[in-house]
Amino acid sequence: MKDLFDLQGKRALITGSTRGIGLLLANGLAEYGAEVIINGTNREKALAVAEELKQKGFKAHAVPFDVTNKEEIEKNIALIEQEIGPIDILVNNAGIQRRHPILEFPEQDWDDIINTNQKAVFLMIQAVGKYMVQRRAGKIINIGSMQSELGRDTITPYAASKGAVKMITRGACVELARYNIQVNGIAPGYFKTELTQPLVDNQQFTQWLCQRTPANRWGNPDELIGSAVFLASKASDFVNGHLLFVDGGMLAAV
Ligand code: NDP
């Protein structure tokens, strides 16, 4: 039972892993033994990040592609499967944020958010899922958010996309569990990353957040690693369709 969390011999593709939460998760999964595949749209950055991981002694590759582009997804997933090896763990992490009041929200921003945060999760599950089904094994982890459950000023499209991530997780679980594929999600509370930098810098927001969160603080991104290792490993083989909130208790509190 001691190897329940061991990821030796497993290969993980983490979308959007050139910085922020994705990079943290890539490091975390690698620490537990996984070979990791770094992704983002910025090719040079992905190559540099994979190189840094290799310097640390981890097995890492860079496969940059745009997760909103079905053709690019299919081409690159086939390339990984054939030239690097089977994807055992897929972490759908790539995501973007745009903020505008709902009545003024530009249509293009809505499309970009939905395409990146929602449709890409679906397309990635289709592309990687078909290989996992053949092998009758796979772990899929979708990154949700507090906005999978809660609304907030100026980010309605983001909340819509993250609510959908919850339901894609459940739907994919229902259809893929019979093939020994576990599809779960992690819903981070508020973590300090580039994406949330404008909020971190906003004193008023930070004060509100600390009062609103039972833990009274921002989350540190490395506090997400345990959940990712759990959902990527044998330890979670009968956990399916679940969205694990890592939020310092925020969702539990009014
Ligand atoms: P960052 O902005 O720090 O990083 C986003 C990553 O996604 C980058 O690696 C970026 O690389 C990549 N990316 C963006 N668009 C695409 C695309 N079309 N194709 C491929 N890669 C892409 O974000 P965070 O680390 O903060 O967020 C990561 C995830 O966690 C998101 O899904 C976010 O919604 C979620 N989240 C974050 C929270 C937080 O507090 N930060 C809280 C709750 C959820 P590149 O620029 O090269 O494309």
Could you read off the pLDDT of 10-19 as tens digits, one per residue? 999 999 999 9
Question: What is the signed CA dihedral for 22, 158, 98, 18, rounded to 10 degrees?
Answer: 10
Catalytic residue among 131, 158, 179, 190: 158
Domains of the chain: which residue ranges? 11-247
CATH code: domain 11-247 is: 3.40.50.720
CA dist., res. 209 & res. 217, Å (int) = 7
φ/ψ of 21, rounded to 5, equals -65, -40
Expressed in angstroms and rounded, the spacing between residue 26 Cα and the centre of ligand 1 is: 13
Q: What is the per-residue pLDDT for 187?
A: 98
Mutation choice for ligand 1 from 24, 75, 96, 201, CB with most ligand atoms inside 8 A: 96
CA of 40, closest atom in ligand 1: 21
Q: What is the per-residue pLDDT for 241?
A: 98
Question: What is the signed CA dihedral for 164, 170, 174, 176, rounded to 10 degrees?
Answer: 80
Q: pLDDT tier at 83 (50, 70, 90 boundaries)? A: very high
CA dist., res. 113 & res. 238, Å (int) = 32
CA dist., res. 215 & res. 205, Å (int) = 16
Six-digit token string for 150: 């809660």
CA dist., res. 37 & res. 11, Å (int) = 8
Its pTM stands at 0.97
179 is catalytic: no
Place of tokens 């089904």: 133
**Does the beta carbon of 114 sit less than 6 angstroms from any atom of ligand 1?**
no
Residue 226 has pLDDT above 80, yes or no: yes
Contact assessment for residue 181 and residue 137, using Cβ atoms and an 8 Å cutoff? yes
Nearest CA to ligand 1 atom 9: 16
Strand order in the sheet with 11-14: 60-62, 35-38, 11-14, 89-92, 138-143, 181-188, 243-246
Mean of all residue pLDDT scores within the chain: 97
φ/ψ of 15, rounded to 5, equals -75, 150
Expressed in angstroms and rounded, the spacing between residue 19 Cα and the centre of ligand 1 is: 8
Q: What is the pLDDT of residues 227-245, one digit of tens each?
A: 999 999 999 999 999 999 9
Nearest CA to ligand 1 atom 33: 95
